[in-house]
Structure 1
Amino acid sequence: MKILSGKLFNLPFFDINSIWLILVISGMMFSCGPKVQELDYLIVNALVFSGENEGPIHTDVGIKGEEIVFVGNSGQKRLKAVKVLEAKGLILAPGFIDPHTHLDRDLSSPEYQSNLASLMQGVTTVFAGNDGNSPLPIGRKLEEWERNGIGTNAGLFVGHGAVRRVVLGLEAKQPTAEDLTEMEVLVAKSMEEGAFGLSTGLFYAPGSYAKEEEVVALAQVAASYGGIYDTHIRDESSYSIGLLASIEEAINIGRKTGIAVHISHIKALGTDLWGKSKEVIALIESAQKEGINVTANQYPYLASKTSFRATVIPRWAEDGGNDAMLVRFGNLEIRNRLIQEITENIRIRGGAEALVFSESENPIYDGMSLREFADMRKLSEAEAAMAILTEEPNLGVVSYNMVEEDLKNFMLKDWVVTGSDGGSGHPRKYGAFARKIGYYAHREKWTGLSFAIHQSTAKTARILGLDRRGLIQEGYFADLVLIDLERYLDKATFESPYELAEGVEYVFVNGNLVINKGEFSSDLKGKALRLNQTKK
């Protein structure tokens, strides 16, 4: 029986040796073909947003270990995946990056270290130590997170206020040359331990007591390590030097040091500033044309949340800390001055009815406005403010003091990224990214979807100096989110601020599937991030 035709191979005949040779050659040819690429996960049929401000494409994404190792048409490659994730009807984006939170305590708590509030929005990396208030030493906190585990990646800024408290306490005094040197050493040490830059809270005591020259000196240290200057500016309203002068101060710090300036939760706060967003934008864009690197982050809400004390009490009355403040409350010689200034600060914030207590030690006060408290106690608004702070010096307040025009104007700028300012008692902790992308971009069409995702991923990563995060690209860390866009919404409200967002189906953190079909795996796969490591 003839197995092969000699004519077909242009050979006169075949014997058994010839057949064997052909089979060996064929095997060699097959073995020299493309190798099978082994994957842990292959995500197919998703609509993929790369993280750049560009239209989405239908493509497949492969993960091996911690990294994205394949982006393309899986049907044209020899791939073998442990798990194929069918993602038809979902969008795939880089994990969102939150540049401004107050989650350092959450990440250190066994109850909240998973950071589920962020994960269920699709956030895979968060930053803390903002507003000048950071843990110290930085290295010790990062090592703690590595040892105990965290649900998302996390980085830290070194807080100017924290450094100032170590060296100068809570007093409204200026540093000597020796004091300033000690502060510079603390900032340098923090940068060497992995801080991503210097943060300030120049609105808050004790940061508010610092003059510009002090901040310039410390920002210069952070700049020498490649860090940025993240600032809650001195005045977002009309408390002291005003919003525009505070923006100019931040720009000037960048001008003097060469440091990249990042303005945290940019806004026009209070009735005196409504409609001023265009002037703020013009000032910043003029500085950008000058060559100064200025960016900002924004949370997509019309109400802020901060300490009630910082909202209504003048800074001079806080000099020396809480005990000194309470002594001043009882000093009849200065009480009239206090009442006048507290009354004006309440007006700036939109009135006593616009100030709603949050995170009270006494639950009956939660959700109560200053107006309601004053009526209940039969006190003037200013006297009521001092009375409740005597009872609860750490009371929080939600302040309804912004307008939609300004919110939108800032949101549409390509140098403004999404941030939550996430902390307890405000829905932004549980909903900022879902509200920005799911509501304002997808439903209200304020921005394009690619633009909103870019503002939450690649743009943020570049501002912060993050290496290989924020893009869907081969060689990048596999921080990824898959979202059912029609269901993607924030559920947290001011009345119920602790509701998880909906619509996130899958989340990968460093290549690990931690949200699977909307359910948390309980795996803590986040990393403590350090600037000096990501720069290597």
Structure 2
Amino acid sequence: MTRLPLLALVPLLIGAAPPPVDVVIRGGTVYTGADTPPATGDVEIAGDRIVYVGPTRGTAATRVIDARGKIVAPGFIDAHTHPDTYIRSPDPQQRLNIAWLGQGVSTIVTGVDGGGTPDVAADAKKLEASGIGTNTVPFVGFGAIRARVLGQADRAPTPAELEQEKALAAKAMCEGALGLSTGLFYAPQSYATTDEVVAVAAEAGKRGGMYDTHQRDESSYTIGLMNSTREAIEIGRRAGTPVHFAHLKALGVDLQGQAPALIAIIDAARRAGQDVTADQYPWLASGSSVDASLVPRWAVDGGYKRMIARFDDPAALARIKVEMRENLRRRGGAPSLLLTSAGQPWTGKTLQQMADLWHVDPIDAAIRILRVPDVRGDEPAGVGVASFNMADRDVDLIMRQPWVVTSSDGSDGHPRQFATFPRKYQTYVRERHVLSLADFIRRSTGLTADMYRLRGRGYLRPGYFADVVVFDPVRFAPRADYVHPTRPSVGVDALFVNGRPALAKGATTGVAAGRVLLRDRPAACPAPAGT
């Protein structure tokens, strides 16, 4: 362990008493988020900013936290999340976003997989007015844009419709979106050609945004993982955007062991000068749905009710079952799909167990589940799954790449929503030694902030926003699992979001200090009305 630079001692050497502050986090092992060794020292907070990081200097403070024996780091940044159950809840306690606060997360990236609203400014205003516990960083979603213009149709846009899509993307970028996200695996986004995506992504590129993608195929469903990865890189090159792969993986029995080839494609693009990065969650099971995992894309054209109508057509159903059976095979079979949606007769059981219980084939069991509608009747109810489809060797190798950061892809019913960061620490740092503690912190803080260009975030530096976590290196651990996915994690002693205490002594404070972090208005945008 090293000491912080002598420069930090200058105020003491010249006899100047440091001004009082709101909070001193004293005597912890400080990791600043940079690629530098840790040091024992203090972090001081005044208002919403960090004002000092260095050796103890006796500053007076309204509150002093004894961090001896603890790790002090920037609040973690989750690069890919699905938090709507929390941040859009009518319940103020839900909006504190405890699923993430309890892991030491202060900032989450939202609007991913193509789902982010084009109405970025209005949505940000609504979220901040309601009070949220974590900072959020929004993408605008290609899926939301396409659905607004084309609905659920499996067709190409007309030239006029493409211009509408581009205008919506430009509007969102001018209102502060981080970039364009896609979920090309999911209908109706899967119906879009590469050229259509490039045209819309270029609107983000013109305004300094990035292209974030749940790529078209992480497995062997359509064009295959390697061709899909090449497609995403091509989209970024042609659109003039950095490319960021969401939850990078080699999914399914056909792709296990193929991580080296996947990494080679990305490394080649990076050597050629392209900005290509990725995030990853530390779990062997992905989170998805029965329909997305098994039903062919053509069968969901037009939405849920059209899918059910095809189930009722004997000829269509026969074709659907053939393709569902192949999709189930590539996922690892019915025992590999754990049904996770709460409050259903099948909750916590595998698809195979439900097939056995109902005395039917697993495909028939899946269709039976899909036939149950939600309260609105336009989506299936209770179809979430944890899909066990990845291999340790692939997860480990991807995790070690210098351009990969931490994400949860946190979604309802999967333990990654409550336990990703402590799991990565406990399993991949302490137990299996895939990463060092310093690597874990850097890939969960400063490196993520650099990739997403989050100004004033991700580092413990004077002048930066005071997003700070204090955790116990012995006790920091997950408690959620696939059967109990909402058990809170333990070991976070304190968490500050914008200088305000979100967690104190391991408990929530009720303070909703989160902000929506919008980008500055790009130069390629018209001046706002009235200016």
Partners of 1:33 and 1:90 lie apart in 2 by 30
Partners of 1:52 and 1:263 lie apart in 2 by 23
| Residue identity in the other structure for 1:178 | A
Of residues 300, 321, 346 in structure 2, which corresponds to 1:365? Answer: 346
**Shift in Å at residue 140 of structure 1?**
1.8
Query: Is the 2:174–2:522 Cα contact (8 Å) retained in structure 1?
Result: no
Of residues 318, 328, 337 in structure 2, which corresponds to 1:336? Answer: 318
Of residues 302, 305, 316 in structure 2, which corresponds to 1:323? Answer: 305
Q: Deviations over 1:288-339 (max 9, x none)?
A: 0011111111110000111110100000001111111111111122222111
Matched, 1:243 2:225: yes
Of residues 253, 270, 277 in structure 2, which corresponds to 1:271? Answer: 253
Q: Deviations over 1:316-365 (max 9, x none)?
A: 00111111111111112222211110110000100011112121552x21
1:141-290 equivalent positions in 2, closer than 5 A:
141-290=123-272
Moved more, 131-140 or 247-256: 131-140
| Residue identity in the other structure for 1:322 | Y
Counterpart for residue 78 of structure 2: 98
Moved more, 51-60 or 422-431: 51-60
Larger Rg: 1
Of residues 474, 479, 484 in structure 1, which corresponds to 2:462? Answer: 474
Counterpart for residue 83 of structure 1: 63
5+ residue gaps in structure 2?
Answer: 1-13, 374-379, 524-531
1:408-423 equivalent positions in 2, closer than 5 A:
408-423=396-411
Moved more, 439-448 or 177-186: 439-448
Counterpart for residue 14 of structure 1: none
Partners of 1:133 and 1:487 lie apart in 2 by 36
Q: Deviations over 1:111-155 (max 9, x none)?
A: 410011111111000011111112342222211111111001112
**Shift in Å at residue 84 of structure 1?**
2.1
Q: How many residue pairs align between the two structures?
A: 501
1:360/1:116 Cα in 2 relative to 1: closer, same or farther (>3 Å)? closer
What is the Cα-based RMSD across aligned positions, in Å? Answer: 1.5
**Shift in Å at residue 33 of structure 1?**
6.0
1:504/1:533 Cα in 2 relative to 1: closer, same or farther (>3 Å)? farther
Matched, 1:383 2:397: no
Partners of 2:70 and 2:197 lie apart in 1 by 46
Moved more, 200-209 or 324-333: 324-333
| Residue identity in the other structure for 1:429 | Q
Matched, 1:514 2:502: yes
Query: Is the 1:68–1:472 Cα contact (8 Å) retained in structure 2?
Result: yes
Counterpart for residue 8 of structure 1: none
5+ residue gaps in structure 1?
Answer: 1-31
Counterpart for residue 512 of structure 2: 524
Q: Could you say what secondary structure the match of 1:273 adopts?
A: coil
1:241/1:231 Cα in 2 relative to 1: closer, same or farther (>3 Å)? same
Counterpart for residue 420 of structure 2: 432
**Shift in Å at residue 533 of structure 1?**
6.3
Query: Is the 1:467–1:534 Cα contact (8 Å) retained in structure 2?
Result: no
Moved more, 38-47 or 283-292: 38-47
Partners of 1:208 and 1:114 lie apart in 2 by 34
Q: Deviations over 1:201-232 (max 9, x none)?
A: 00001110000011111111111221111100
Q: Deviations over 1:348-395 (max 9, x none)?
A: 100011112121552x21012222222233332222222221124241
Q: Could you say what secondary structure the match of 2:20 adopts?
A: strand
1:534/1:123 Cα in 2 relative to 1: closer, same or farther (>3 Å)? farther
Q: Deviations over 1:71-120 (max 9, x none)?
A: 12233xx7332222211010100000011001134201124100111111
Partners of 1:169 and 1:207 lie apart in 2 by 10
1:57-136 equivalent positions in 2, closer than 5 A:
57-75=39-57, 79-109=59-89, 110=91, 111-136=93-118
Query: Is the 1:466–1:534 Cα contact (8 Å) retained in structure 2?
Result: no
Q: Could you say what secondary structure the match of 2:238 adopts?
A: helix
| Residue identity in the other structure for 2:434 | W
Query: Is the 1:439–1:489 Cα contact (8 Å) retained in structure 2?
Result: no
Counterpart for residue 402 of structure 1: 390
1:122/1:142 Cα in 2 relative to 1: closer, same or farther (>3 Å)? same
Q: Could you say what secondary structure the match of 1:323 adopts?
A: helix
Counterpart for residue 16 of structure 1: none
**Shift in Å at residue 445 of structure 1?**
1.5
**Shift in Å at residue 534 of structure 1?**
11
TM-score by length of 2: 0.92
Q: Deviations over 1:410-450 (max 9, x none)?
A: 11111010000011100000010111123311332211111
